[in-house]
Structure 1
Amino acid sequence: MRLNWPLKMSVTVSRTYNDAVSALNSLQSNYANIMAIRASGDRKNQMNIWEMQEWCRRIGYDTSEFDKLNIIHITGTKGKGSTAAFTQSLLQQYGNKIHKIGLYTSPHLKSVRERIQISGKPICEEKFSRYFFDIWDRLDKTSSSLDKFPHMTPGSKPGYFKYLTLLSFHVFVQEGCDSCIYEVGVGGEYDSTNIIKTPTACGVSLLGIDHTYMLGDTIEEIAWNKGGIFKNNVPAFTIDVQPAAGLKVLEERAHERNVDLQQVPVFKEVKNLKLGLAGDFQVLNASLAVALASQHLTKLGIFSAPLALEKDTTLPQEFKNGLASAEWKGRCQTIQDGKITWLIDGAHTKDSIVAATGWFKSRVVNTKNKKILLFNQQTRDAAALITTLRSCLTPEVKFDRIIFTTNVTWKSGEYSADLVSMNTSKEQVDRLEVQKALRHTWLNLEPNAQIDVVANIETACNIVKRYEEPIEVFVTGSLHLVGGLLVVFDGDK
């Protein structure tokens, strides 16, 4: 599915879920615009927040109204989504005292509805389309001062992520959520979720280098952006293994907001639990979630005081249950399909590749089954990622076959509607430029490797399914790849 609609498109006839997804896809920034912004060196600024506040006004909200949602706000480079999933699972253990729990995360895997969940489930298609067009119509019927907001011309709409952020607030308010968890999209200071005025708690997962064109090239610049979610007198937490330079900046940012940044240790009871999310590194995210949920439940009056941030702290049984039952698809996920073991993680930064590869290695290092790598990363330094991946596995684990694919879903050349992406170069994808470059990089490291370059995920999946003996397939490099693969598994075109 390829779309080229302008941002000023007006939908007036049909109001189905597919219509909503098509309209939403029209709000994506195209590849040329993204490249122009990157080349200009223009990074997000305060206007991004002012515009979000104005969009909220136009759909009928003052941002202070969102305080009644009791929001936990989470950022970080690696692990913020997992932390959000653990936090949601912890709060769900108190369902007799919390009415509805909202969760806003990104990106999605198979369906855009996954980004807006209530009580652990994506909102249904009917509610998504109804609330989506409710906002669309409100924006069509209102206007902004072009002197103050020159980009908000009549008929224009927010970009893709901003629109979904607006939609999430609208959904959670209308559905009566009394606890919400918000995962930052990119950074923090200028992220569209950062219109939240008074969250119940703020958390920062592991810092690393990513999204440099928006956040900066150093860990200090990235930490400054992440620390932008801290609010005056709102408790703030981070893991206790942050890079020293990044931690220093986080502490400075917290001080600006009259907050003592609290470092969360890995709780001994968390380390001894079988967590619902696989991977040794998840103990960091689970421990951070414990601190956030504890503070949140104290704010709501469910706890008399937060849990002590000490390694030997005893956790409530509800917390143990929540950590053990947490789910987060596409992250260290194992799917058994007959003789094929799919080991899936959407890692797309150096740090996350190291972590995911460590998990994969621990699962397969002692098996004699053939091993296949299925990989893509269309927008970041893919060559650096596969070099890191291979070095983490060598010499204990060697792939018998490597498949480099695009993120296109089907052999027809189409994407699943919810997975349409306009932020990559269609020409590069069609010419398989990234995939051919990846093959060249790998062959320089391993000249005799068996490598396939394919144009879509369906074709890659068919190659794997030809094997008759037991095989283990490591799928990584991109959440878009993982999502497309899950769609192919479903066979729903």
Structure 2
Amino acid sequence: MHQIVSFSYCRWRAFRAFRGALFRGAMDSAFASKGTRDLKRYCCHLSVDQQYEEAVQALNGLQTNAAVLQRVREQRGRSSNTNIPETEAFLRRVGVSLDDLDKLSVIHIAGTKGKGSTCAFIESILREHGYRTGFYSSPHLVAVRERIRINGQPIQKDSFTQHFWDVYNALSASKESEDDMPAYFKFLTVLALKVFLREEIDVAVIEVGIGGEYDCTNVIRKPVVCGITTLDLDHTSILGTTVDSIAWHKSGIMKPNIPTFTVDQQPGSSLSVLMARAKEKNCALYLVPPLESYGWGARPLQLGLAGSVQYSNASLALQLSRYWIDFQNKDLVIKKSVEEGNGPEIAASFTLNDEEVCGLRSVVWPGRSQMMTCDHLQFFIDGAHTVASMQACIDWFTKASQFSLQQNENVYRVLLFNSTGDRDPETLLQFLAMCDFDLAVFTTNLATMSMSASSDQTNYTISKDQMHLRCERQRNSWIRLVREFRKNKAVCETHDGATFENTPVNLKEYCGETDFSYSERLPATDVPSIIFPCIMDALLWLSCGRCQSLHGELVTPPAFPPPEQLREASQVQILVTGSLHLVGGLLGVIDPGLSCANHTRTFQSKQPSLTDLVRSSYFKSSPLGAP
């Protein structure tokens, strides 16, 4: 029996399955040694996919359930946060000390909007220079392996499985109680840091999860440089309801004598908070210059991510990656375009080298201002989930959808929406209500109704009933907002020939609060909208049987059949937005291998030892972000 105790968790689960297939009673002690040999043979025959699914199932078991998550939100501010000391303790239990962490060369990024995009730009630039990169981000879209990347690629299934069980078994063997295991994100943070140390990467680009001051990733004591992207209201139940409070949390990643770069267009007085925190933490704070101010030579300004919102992210990435490279060369002087004054100093722009140009151009970051085509369905995918990011999303969608139109095409426009967490969906829907969609579809973030415990997209933090109720509320808000918009547009056009473009954005404030008591039974034929229990059902219904790549039957009968206009449209434009989890669920259906993110190195003046060239098919579906 002592041999069984020494098994890894993976083998123990396999042993239980093997034992159950042979007999149902207690295990005979004489079988122990024979069973061990058979078990090893059984495990060897498990496929890589099966072993990976076992790991994901165990990982999903670490998710915080909905009730516990609600208690955490309610206790905000009433108790000291223990994330960082707990993460340090878990790291020690897997053999990683803080001194070990100090050996990692880290670029640490916080912010509300554009964290992932900025990190992706940085990673792409440094990889073009030939550095071996590690990249930790969240959330994942299709597979949890996306969160931990080596040289731009999600860690392989077999490698993930090996690293996972090494960490899981070490933590499980040393736990002092049944609950003495890290939660989902904390576990992945510990796993990523240990993977980066083992893989001996040159640089680790680390994206903060939530906040910064108390985020698990803030266990990093000595990053090379820090960055803070654009701030906005998000995760308000945890970080507070003002941009100043959010700025305080995000600036928690600042460290003494380590420079921090940020963008200049910060909301409200949040920049003042960042400046005060920089002074408190004894670190220099720099604003990045406009992207257009850099020297591009004869080369055009091109970004691999579409949308003007990416300009500030790209400039921040250029400053952070250039500083990191200079740090390796012991050139620590930061050139400034504005000397000491009342505000933060502005870092100087510079002439880009080939690696930087290629890095910006070849970056791939799915789910953000992305276009994909599935037969006659054209998807415009953006995981915008804050007010500012939704405005940027609509600006991109308006231009991109017009650009993609063919002459004399019969177009039908659909909104596919879901909002998650503690966000107020109405603040997002009020902008979308002005976009003149033919139909709004509300769905849960479930890719299908048959999600297993070993699925990368399984979510235990909210129940199916709660997800459906949220969809109902979002649909009801949508009907009211569209009706209000149409009413006030008519009023504006009637009075003095005014146009609705001058109408205030905040429709509630403009119109006054109106008491609408909507329910599912309320007829809303003037505002076509429908709810689906999963993304697959929504896509099957929208495709009207015309998409070769979508197979299966609707699990739940829809409220009504597809409209005639939808069935006859030569092109159906679908804006998918409101949540990165919704985006991930969609990609899990139409691109389960996330082939749109496969890319290799583009700049070939160095040895082609790293894999990274952007697929030409990606650029065919997602045009470069040229000005």
Is 1:121 aligned to 2:153, yes or no?
A: yes
Going from structure 1 to structure 2, the CA distance change for 1:10 and 1:414 (only over 3 Å counts) comes to closer
Going from structure 1 to structure 2, the CA distance change for 1:339 and 1:44 (only over 3 Å counts) comes to farther
Q: Residues 258-303 of structure 1: CA distance to partner in whole angstroms, max 9, x if unpaired?
A: 1120011212156961200111100010000011001100111186
Going from structure 1 to structure 2, the CA distance change for 1:73 and 1:61 (only over 3 Å counts) comes to same
| Residue identity matched to 1:36 | R
| Residue identity matched to 1:212 | T
Q: What corresponds to 1:274 in structure 2? A: 302
1:344 equivalent among 376, 381, 388:
381
2:539 equivalent among 453, 461, 466:
461
1:441 Cα offset (Å):
1.4
Give the RMSD, CA atoms, in angstroms: 2.3
1:315 equivalent among 352, 363, 372:
352
| Residue identity matched to 1:112 | V
Question: How many Å separate the matches in 2 of 1:137 and 1:107?
Answer: 24
Determine helix, strand or coil for the equivalent of 1:348: coil
1:413 Cα offset (Å):
6.3
Question: How many Å separate the matches in 1 of 2:425 and 2:179?
Answer: 42
Q: What corresponds to 1:435 in structure 2? A: 471
Q: What corresponds to 2:420 in structure 1? A: 378
2:324 equivalent among 296, 304, 309:
296
The answer to whether the 8 A contact 2:576-2:583 is kept is yes
Going from structure 1 to structure 2, the CA distance change for 1:218 and 1:65 (only over 3 Å counts) comes to same
Determine helix, strand or coil for the equivalent of 2:232: coil
Q: Residues 187-212 of structure 1: CA distance to partner in whole angstroms, max 9, x if unpaired?
A: 00110000111111000000111111
Determine helix, strand or coil for the equivalent of 2:82: helix
1:388 Cα offset (Å):
3.0
| Residue identity matched to 1:471 | V
Determine helix, strand or coil for the equivalent of 1:444: helix
Is 1:90 aligned to 2:191, yes or no?
A: no
| Residue identity matched to 2:133 | I
1:370 Cα offset (Å):
1.6
1:138 equivalent among 149, 170, 173:
170
User: What is the identity percentage for the equivalent residue pairs of Structure 1 and Structure 2?
Assistant: 39
1:239 equivalent among 226, 240, 263:
263
Q: Residues 19-59 of structure 1: CA distance to partner in whole angstroms, max 9, x if unpaired?
A: 11011101111001111222333477442211111111111
Q: What corresponds to 2:251 in structure 1? A: 227
Question: How many Å separate the matches in 1 of 2:145 and 2:78?
Answer: 29
The answer to whether the 8 A contact 2:451-2:458 is kept is no
| Residue identity matched to 1:236 | T
Going from structure 1 to structure 2, the CA distance change for 1:235 and 1:383 (only over 3 Å counts) comes to closer
2:286 equivalent among 248, 255, 262:
262
| Residue identity matched to 2:588 | V
Q: Residues 430-472 of structure 1: CA distance to partner in whole angstroms, max 9, x if unpaired?
A: xx21112222112223351211111100011112212451121
Larger radius of gyration: 2
Q: What corresponds to 1:405 in structure 2? A: 443
Question: How many Å separate the matches in 2 of 1:416 and 1:361?
Answer: 38
Question: How many Å separate the matches in 2 of 1:77 and 1:383?
Answer: 17
| Residue identity matched to 2:127 | Q
Q: What corresponds to 2:343 in structure 1? A: none
Going from structure 1 to structure 2, the CA distance change for 1:62 and 1:359 (only over 3 Å counts) comes to same
The answer to whether the 8 A contact 1:202-1:229 is kept is yes
1:390 equivalent among 425, 432, 448:
432
| Residue identity matched to 1:422 | Y
Bigger shift: residues 286-295 or 483-492: 483-492
Going from structure 1 to structure 2, the CA distance change for 1:94 and 1:213 (only over 3 Å counts) comes to same
| Residue identity matched to 1:353 | M
Question: How many Å separate the matches in 1 of 2:335 and 2:372?
Answer: 36
User: How many residue pairs align between the two structures?
Assistant: 467
Give the TM-score, by structure 2 length: 0.71
Question: How many Å separate the matches in 2 of 1:312 and 1:139?
Answer: 47
For residues 59-70 of structure 1, the aligned pairs below 5 Å read 59-70=94-105
Is 1:57 aligned to 2:114, yes or no?
A: no
The answer to whether the 8 A contact 2:386-2:428 is kept is no
Question: How many Å separate the matches in 2 of 1:64 and 1:127?
Answer: 25
1:140 Cα offset (Å):
2.6
Determine helix, strand or coil for the equivalent of 1:193: helix
Going from structure 1 to structure 2, the CA distance change for 1:36 and 1:361 (only over 3 Å counts) comes to same
Determine helix, strand or coil for the equivalent of 1:109: coil
Determine helix, strand or coil for the equivalent of 1:419: coil
Determine helix, strand or coil for the equivalent of 1:276: coil
The answer to whether the 8 A contact 1:202-1:235 is kept is yes
Q: What corresponds to 2:571 in structure 1? A: 470
Is 1:353 aligned to 2:385, yes or no?
A: no
Is 1:112 aligned to 2:190, yes or no?
A: no
Question: How many Å separate the matches in 1 of 2:79 and 2:179?
Answer: 23
The answer to whether the 8 A contact 1:69-1:173 is kept is yes
The answer to whether the 8 A contact 1:90-1:293 is kept is yes
1:421 equivalent among 452, 456, 459:
459
The answer to whether the 8 A contact 2:287-2:347 is kept is no
The answer to whether the 8 A contact 2:259-2:283 is kept is yes
1:381 Cα offset (Å):
3.5
The answer to whether the 8 A contact 2:446-2:585 is kept is yes
The answer to whether the 8 A contact 1:268-1:312 is kept is no
Question: How many Å separate the matches in 1 of 2:96 and 2:543?
Answer: 51
Question: How many Å separate the matches in 2 of 1:258 and 1:337?
Answer: 52
Determine helix, strand or coil for the equivalent of 1:323: helix
1:10 Cα offset (Å):
6.1
Determine helix, strand or coil for the equivalent of 1:475: strand
Question: How many Å separate the matches in 1 of 2:465 and 2:356?
Answer: 49
The answer to whether the 8 A contact 1:408-1:415 is kept is no
The answer to whether the 8 A contact 2:113-2:389 is kept is yes
1:387 Cα offset (Å):
2.8
Q: Residues 318-343 of structure 1: CA distance to partner in whole angstroms, max 9, x if unpaired?
A: 21111111110000111122222110
Is 1:35 aligned to 2:70, yes or no?
A: yes
Question: How many Å separate the matches in 1 of 2:443 and 2:454?
Answer: 16
Question: How many Å separate the matches in 1 of 2:59 and 2:418?
Answer: 25
2:581 equivalent among 469, 480, 493:
480
The answer to whether the 8 A contact 1:233-1:259 is kept is yes
Question: How many Å separate the matches in 1 of 2:325 and 2:333?
Answer: 9
Question: How many Å separate the matches in 1 of 2:213 and 2:428?
Answer: 31
Is 1:331 aligned to 2:377, yes or no?
A: no
The answer to whether the 8 A contact 2:286-2:347 is kept is no
Question: How many Å separate the matches in 2 of 1:60 and 1:163?
Answer: 14
Q: What corresponds to 1:147 in structure 2? A: none
Q: Name structure 2 gaps, 5 residues minimum.
A: 1-7, 15-42, 44-50, 337-345, 484-525, 545-566, 594-627
Going from structure 1 to structure 2, the CA distance change for 1:304 and 1:200 (only over 3 Å counts) comes to closer
Question: How many Å separate the matches in 2 of 1:331 and 1:434?
Answer: 24
Question: How many Å separate the matches in 1 of 2:537 and 2:243?
Answer: 39
Is 1:18 aligned to 2:42, yes or no?
A: no
The answer to whether the 8 A contact 1:267-1:311 is kept is no
